[in-house]
Amino acid sequence: MDHFLYRDGILHAEDVPLPEIAAEVGTPFYVYSAATLTRHYRLFEEALRGLPHLVCYAMKANSNLAVLKLLGDLGAGMDVVSGGEYARARAAGVPGERIVFSGVGKTREEMRLALECGIRQINVESEPELLALSGVAASMGLRAPVALRVNPDVDAKTHAKIATGKAENKFGIPIARAPAIYAEAAALPGIEVVGIDVHIGSQLTDLAPFEAAYRKVADLAQALLAAGHPIRRLDLGGGLGIPYVRDNAAPPLPLEWGEVIRRTVGHLGLEVEIEPGRLIAGNAGLLVASVIWLKRGEGRDFLILDAAMNDLVRPAMYDAWHDIVPVIEPAPGAERAPFDVVGPVCETGDTFARGRLLPPLAEGALVAFRSAGAYGAVMASEYNSRPLVPEVLVRGHDMAVIRRRPTFDEMLNRDTIPEWL
Ligand code: LLP
């Protein structure tokens, strides 16, 4: 189900024609569909129905306050990885008891902030972090609710830059060492052990690595419970992939992932937390851009857009594929020709696609990148002093700018020239 469809030959976000948004905010811009965000969140709720659970949206995928408010109002918890994300979750109205704090390098300041303002659980990834957290919590007269993130040494079979579950990755505590560290945690004054955490990577399109990891976690949970540790939750991370390439076989559905969860840990009767990000936000967003020039090159033609790698870095960073579609539907049978689709940034890496087959597109034509709602706007920068790309949320006929494009003055005013220069 997709809420970005052609109607009368014009691509819409729900009931709003994209050219209307372009006329109002200019290009490039991100646009999100509230209906899609809602639907995707509910898929996870359905997948875990009957199990005690909390879906903690991994807000690193898309942390616009409006997106967080929408999901928080549906009952979502949040998985945060920095003080800034924690502040966003709270600003969007999500209570501390629904916020899980993940990440391999939390600072003492971040620990203090979370403990002071309320936190459901802190996922600890190393011994030094455990000791530091105990110290911070004890100094506040508290015990921090902790799950230890274990590294199950499972190959997630995804892009190397986003695989996290192999022993060689920086994440988590080697699962074989976990019993010893749980014993250590039990003796610390500022720690209250509540669970086990695992996350093996992102954009997984095969359920087998999840199954392997969750089985190891289930065994560990049983061993820890037998040793008297008060394990009551399992945080099983996120990582379920989305279909970026429309014609390929679709990755497994949340329901199928839920079955793996039931099969591997369901019998333990523990509360389950999951941290999906990409699947909730990815296909709920488009990046819309305009064609600046069509440039005939040596043996290849370039479509130069007003969006660039600073607005959507995934192709440059992970060689990621995003479908690129014209906003005005091409006539049936329109001829397609190969284009290198590029942005205006001054490096060759600023290439969205090579030899992509596209219908004829004139200067000024609008194109949309699909599957851009996750890890799009959040990874944008102002490289080449291109103002941060704005974001729009649509719900039915309603649209709202949820982050506007900064003016040049706003961008420049963040810098300071020392008076001694
Ligand atoms: N939990 C933890 C601890 C994570 O590190 C991540 C993602 C998630 C949950 C959510 O995973 P998801 O359900 O979104 O796959 N920038 C990259 C993706 C980085 C993912 C980092 N961690 C990209 O654009 O592909």
Residue nearest to atom 9 of ligand 1 (CA): 238
Decide whether any atom of ligand 1 lies within 6 Å of the 103 Cβ: no
Task: Burial-class residue 71 by CB neighbours within 10 Å (0-12, 13-18, 19+).
Answer: buried
CA–CA separation, 397 and 100 (whole Å): 34
pTM: 0.97
58 close to 77: Cβ distance less than 8 angstroms? no
Extract the residue ranges of the chain whose pLDDT is less than 70.
Answer: 1
Q: Which residue in 226, 346, 417, 421 is the catalytic one?
A: 346
Ligand 1 centre and the CA of 390: distance in Å?
A: 22
Q: What is the pLDDT of residue 167?
A: 83
Decide whether any atom of ligand 1 lies within 6 Å of the 376 Cβ: no
Locate the ligand 1 atom nearest the alpha carbon of residue 241 and give its number.
Answer: 15
Q: What is the pLDDT of residue 1?
A: 58
Ligand 1 centre and the CA of 148: distance in Å?
A: 18
Domains of the chain as residue ranges with CATH:
4-31+282-412 (2.40.37.10), 34-280 (3.20.20.10)
Residue nearest to atom 24 of ligand 1 (CA): 375
Decide whether any atom of ligand 1 lies within 6 Å of the 197 Cβ: no
If one residue of 202, 203, 309, 322 were mutated to test the ligand 1 pocket, choosing by the most ligand atoms within 8 A of its CB, it would be 202
Decide whether any atom of ligand 1 lies within 6 Å of the 278 Cβ: yes
Ligand 1 centre and the CA of 163: distance in Å?
A: 9
Decide whether any atom of ligand 1 lies within 6 Å of the 377 Cβ: no
Q: Decide if 346 is catalytic.
A: yes
Decide whether any atom of ligand 1 lies within 6 Å of the 58 Cβ: yes
Q: What is the pLDDT of residue 180?
A: 97
If one residue of 44, 104, 278, 279 were mutated to test the ligand 1 pocket, choosing by the most ligand atoms within 8 A of its CB, it would be 278
Residue nearest to atom 7 of ligand 1 (CA): 202
Ligand 1 centre and the CA of 236: distance in Å?
A: 13
Decide whether any atom of ligand 1 lies within 6 Å of the 123 Cβ: no
Decide whether any atom of ligand 1 lies within 6 Å of the 233 Cβ: no
